[in-house]
Amino acid sequence: MPRPGQSRTTPEERLPERMALGLLFRTFPPELVDRVVAECGRAERRSRLLPARTVVYFVLAICLFEQRSYEQVAQLLTEGLAWARQERTLCTVPTTAAISRARARLGPEPLAALFTELARQSRPAGARTRCARFRQWAVLAIDGTTVDVPDTPENRARYGPSPSRPVPAPTGDSASDTVPRPGPASRSASASGSGFPQVHVVALAECGSHRITGAVLGRLPSGGPPAPLARALFTTLTHGDLLLADCGPADLELLHVARAAGAEVLWRIGLGTGLPVHVGLPDGSYLSDAPCGATGARTAVRVIEEPPYRLVTSLLDPEAAPAGLLAALYDRRWDIRTSLRDLGALSPEGPQVLRSRWPGGVEQEVWGHLLVHHTIRSLLGSA
């Protein structure tokens, strides 16, 4: 069904949209898409109207053109493939039902693998060339957001039951993988319990460039932060990284995961977190130790009091990293909110509910939005 506020356009008016698709084709060339599809075991054994490569481009296109219907995006993609002179172009515009079946065959894995591949390529030889830096460290931040998804039995089973307040029933063809998209007021209500299940996205981003270099998806655990999701991202860190984060007492147990990857940390915790004073330092900070892992072992940290919070860091030398500079540096953590706000339907301030009525499609869309964000950020970074 059409997106709210959509209007029909002439071929001439669609030129910018074709150019946007051309950028996607350039960022994700056919040989790269085909390789990732094959590595995920999604290559076709027979000729189809919608081969896997084309479905990957379609998922990217529905994320790029959020307010377009399936039919409109399919038309744009058909014209864009022909305009870009891509091989294996579509001869006819596929139906909504055919697109939904093709998306189900593809699954989310090729989109996730494509994001991992691009994140790897964007960090040649271990260098983050456009990332904000503190001394010799590249500064990164980690944070999460929740995204409303259609209230279907499949999505509730994967992401948790919807709250008790009723949700308006979707209208239109259920095969279209679409739901009515609420305005900003509805999105705010959703965050406080309007009835939509929510997928939780935890992202790792470079401060400065705002490029998202890692992400994990899952269900938000009740009663606490999603430590298992964050743990998976910590393993992508490396020597020369400095990770900024806001955490609770339990999250300190993940400190050893970041340190094992070779990264340094600068985390904010509440004043109620008990950390003993071992040695006072000239800049007002002090050395302490924090619980590290499930074995009860502890690791050395340095504590900087910044009421009503305190900062803990693995940078123990006050001369190499003075407390005042670290306190000022921590403000760069909010750069990741800029990254998340740039994510369209995934933005915490966004008014949108994802289209997909099944978990595999939800994950396809999330990875698609992350890939589109990567494309835009790469373009801005090369300007």
Which of the listed ranges 29-38, 123-132, 213-222 does the model predict with the highest average pLDDT? 29-38
Q: Are residues 95 and 242 in the same domain?
A: no
Q: Are residues 272 and 215 in the same domain?
A: yes
Q: Are residues 337 and 366 in the same domain?
A: no
Percent of the chain with pLDDT over 90: 31
Q: Are residues 33 and 82 in the same domain?
A: yes
Please indicate, yes or no, if residue 9 is contained in any of the structural domains.
no
Please indicate, yes or no, if residue 3 is contained in any of the structural domains.
no
Q: How far, in Å, are 34, 115, 272, 275, 313 from residue 305 at the CA level?
A: 52, 38, 12, 11, 11
Q: Is the dihedral of CA 140, 254, 221, 248 positive or negative?
A: negative
Span 113-130, pLDDT tens digits: 999 998 887 665 445 567
Q: Are residues 127 and 112 in the same domain?
A: no
Q: Are residues 30 and 147 in the same domain?
A: no
Please indicate, yes or no, if residue 352 is contained in any of the structural domains.
no
Give alpha helix (H) positions in 152-244.
Answer: 153-159, 184-191, 227-234
Domain extent, residue 35, equals: 15-120+357-382
Span 65-117, pLDDT tens digits: 887 888 888 888 887 777 665 545 555 677 888 888 999 999 999 999 999 99
Q: Which two tokens stand for residue 23?
A: 């950028």
Cα–Cα distance for residue pair 316/254, rounded to 1 Å: 18
Q: Are residues 304 and 156 in the same domain?
A: yes
Domain count, the chain: 2
State the pLDDT at residue 98.
Answer: 87
Span 173-188, pLDDT tens digits: 333 444 333 332 233 3
Q: Which two tokens stand for residue 256?
A: 């050893």
CB 275 within 8 A of CB 299: no
Check pLDDT > 60 for residue 322: yes
Q: Are residues 233 and 376 in the same domain?
A: no
End-to-end CA distance of the chain: 37
Cα–Cα distance for residue pair 213/118, rounded to 1 Å: 9
Q: Are residues 114 and 127 in the same domain?
A: no
CATH of the domain at 143: 3.90.350
Of 171, 170, 176, give the one whose Cα is nearest residue 150. 170
pTM as predicted = 0.81
Q: Are residues 145 and 250 in the same domain?
A: yes
Q: Are residues 148 and 98 in the same domain?
A: no
Give alpha helix (H) positions in the chain.
Answer: 15-27, 30-39, 52-64, 70-83, 96-106, 109-121, 153-159, 184-191, 227-234, 255-260, 323-329, 335-341, 359-382
Please indicate, yes or no, if residue 5 is contained in any of the structural domains.
no
Q: Are residues 370 and 321 in the same domain?
A: no
